[in-house]
């Protein structure tokens, strides 16, 4: 059954589930890349670490926005407003986080950014992309990791603007898969919170 665009899934929070598609919208390599000036963000989650290499060359606005949240302590709660969770887990599709606290509160965000989906990057397994509403230029803090190759989420012209990829996991695909395997409720929310406990530049 084909999935509709991620508008309802991504950013709107906890609507629909995988079964109801109509509601959807080598560690050494990573270290070498970091030494070569790559921009690596380390995310520590309650299920383990994930290291993400950001692609500022292809998605400068999106990377700058993501870094603002990281540097402000938005994701891990160092801003004093609570850590964020992976609030949406759809096995065989995506894990989404960066907006809600464990108590279910939606955190206040910066202004939305321009959509950079037409940047040559694809929604492949292990990439990170921005969640948004059905308005193209609406992404704020929420992001998702692609559990599989989701190329149907890529830019395909003005009528199908897609979702902006801005980096990829370089360490911690196993953590991503562990998050994808957690038990969820009917709204694709993990039964036990998966929390981002630390987020920072390497």
In-domain check, residue 114? yes
Sequence-ordered list of residues with C-beta below 8 angstroms from that of 20, at least 6 positions apart, any chain: none
In-domain check, residue 36? yes
Can you give the CATH number for the domain in which 171 is found? 2.40.100.10
In-domain check, residue 110? yes
Whose structure tokens read 């290499």? Answer: 53
The 10s digit of each residue's pLDDT in 100-151 is 999 999 999 999 999 999 999 999 999 999 999 999 999 999 999 999 999 9
From the number of C-beta atoms within 10 Å of its C-beta (0-12, 13-18, 19+), residue 181 rates as exposed
Q: What is the pLDDT of residue 36?
A: 65
Please give the model's pTM, rounded to 2 decimal places. Answer: 0.85
In-domain check, residue 3? no
In-domain check, residue 21? no
Q: Is the pLDDT at 32 greater than 70, yes or no?
A: no
Q: What is the pLDDT of residue 10?
A: 59
Number of domains in the chain: 1
In-domain check, residue 9? no
The 10s digit of each residue's pLDDT in 45-91 is 999 999 999 999 999 999 999 999 999 999 999 999 999 999 999 99
**Which structural domain range is residue 179 located in?**
26-201
In-domain check, residue 7? no
In-domain check, residue 62? yes
Q: What is the pLDDT of residue 37?
A: 81
């Amino acid at each position: 059954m084909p999935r509709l665009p991620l508008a309802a899934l991504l950013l709107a929070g906890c609507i629909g589930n995988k079964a109801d598609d109509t509601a959807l919208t080598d560690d050494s390599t990573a270290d070498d890349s970091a030494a070569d000036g790559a921009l690596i963000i380390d995310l520590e989650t309650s299920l383990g670490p994930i290291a993400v290499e950001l692609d500022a060359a292809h998605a400068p606005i999106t990377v700058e926005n993501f870094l603002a949240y990281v540097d402000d302590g938005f994701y891990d709660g160092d801003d004093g407003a609570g850590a964020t969770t992976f609030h949406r887990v759809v096995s065989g599709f995506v894990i989404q986080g960066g907006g809600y606290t464990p108590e279910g509160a939606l955190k206040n965000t910066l202004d939305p950014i321009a959509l950079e989906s037409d940047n040559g990057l694809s929604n492949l397994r292990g990439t990170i992309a921005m969640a948004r509403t059905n308005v193209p230029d609406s992404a704020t803090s929420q992001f998702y990791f692609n559990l599989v190759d989701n190329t149907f989420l890529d830019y395909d012209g003005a009528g199908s603007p897609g979702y902006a990829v801005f980096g990829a996991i370089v360490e911690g695909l196993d953590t991503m898969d562990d998050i994808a395997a957690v038990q969820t409720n009917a709204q694709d929310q993990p039964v036990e919170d998966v929390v981002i406990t630390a987020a920072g530049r390497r």
